[in-house]
Amino acid sequence: MNLLEVTDLHVKYGKFEAVKGVSFHLDKGEIVGIVGQSGSGKSTIAKTLVGIEKKSSGKIEVSAKSMQMVFQDAVGSLNPRMTVRSTLREVIRHGKGVKRSEEPIEKRIAALLSHVGLSEAVLDQYPREMSGGQCQRISIARALAFDPDVLIADEPVSALDVSVQAKVLNLLRKLRDERNLTILIIAHDLAVVKNVCDRVYVMERGLFADEGESEKVFSDPKSEYTKALLAAVPDVERALDARK
């Protein structure tokens, strides 16, 4: 079942057209990657899907009940004056669209931390006291508080070292399996999505240069652009394999 259908999407900034007419869909329970170098238009698509940017033309049809985004700068996306406990409590109490429950807030916070593989030892820590990987997990936990159908992760591991990248990507895969979550990963590195995504779209200058099932795109790339990206795949692939 399609939770998101995008048809002929165009996004312009003044005269500059960042996205030049792309079409894609997200099916329930799958992980999809949009990959491209800086300036290719991939993050613009993500921001347009959640309403941060406005489309110039095209159609975005959403049947998901809730769609949440995890931003690239995990540390910067968290309030530096709020502890983990305060951050999650604020979302649960006042987040627009968060389901109200009779369950104690502290129990809900503990459950969110458990989902992202963190212990309650981090509850009274501030973002500056945590690693980049921990902050990314807190950002994911905050998004999960809304019980989304679709999670959009914009460069979720770009600021992390290879071993931590693998852990965060495996966490996303685990969340998909446990919660039947649909995930869209935005990345500049094909290695980030190779072993995680069911399908991938390779973006170049506002258009898709390659698209299809991940295995097919990686084994038989059609464009020279995709071949060049594949040639630059770093060690994260081996790190992911080692942690399966």
Residue type present at position 113 = L
Q: Are both 185 and 209 inside the same structural domain?
A: yes
Give the pLDDT of the chain (244 residues) as one tens digit per residue.
689 999 999 999 999 999 999 999 999 999 999 999 999 999 999 999 999 999 999 999 999 889 999 988 888 899 999 999 999 999 999 888 888 888 899 999 999 999 999 999 999 999 999 999 999 999 999 999 999 999 999 999 887 888 888 889 999 999 999 999 999 999 988 888 888 999 999 999 999 999 999 999 989 999 999 998 888 775 445 555 555 5
Q: Give the Cα separation of 122 and 91 in Å (integer).
A: 17
pLDDT of residue 166: 87
Q: Are both 128 and 158 inside the same structural domain?
A: no
pLDDT of residue 237: 54
Q: Are both 132 and 184 inside the same structural domain?
A: no
pLDDT of residue 241: 55
pLDDT of residue 162: 80
Q: Give the Cα separation of 137 and 115 in Å (integer).
A: 9
**Torsion angle in degrees (nearest 10) through CA of 197, 192, 173, 55:** -60
Q: Are both 234 and 186 inside the same structural domain?
A: yes
Q: Are both 155 and 236 inside the same structural domain?
A: yes
Q: Are both 105 and 154 inside the same structural domain?
A: no
Q: Are both 161 and 226 inside the same structural domain?
A: yes
Q: Are both 142 and 154 inside the same structural domain?
A: no
- How far is C-alpha 57 from the chain's CA centre? 24
- Classified as helix, coil or strand, 236 is helix
Q: Are both 83 and 57 inside the same structural domain?
A: no
In total, how many domains does the chain have? 2
CATH code for the domain of 173: 3.40.50.300
Residue with tokens 């999650």: 88
Q: By residue range, what is the domain housing residue 169?
A: 2-65+149-242
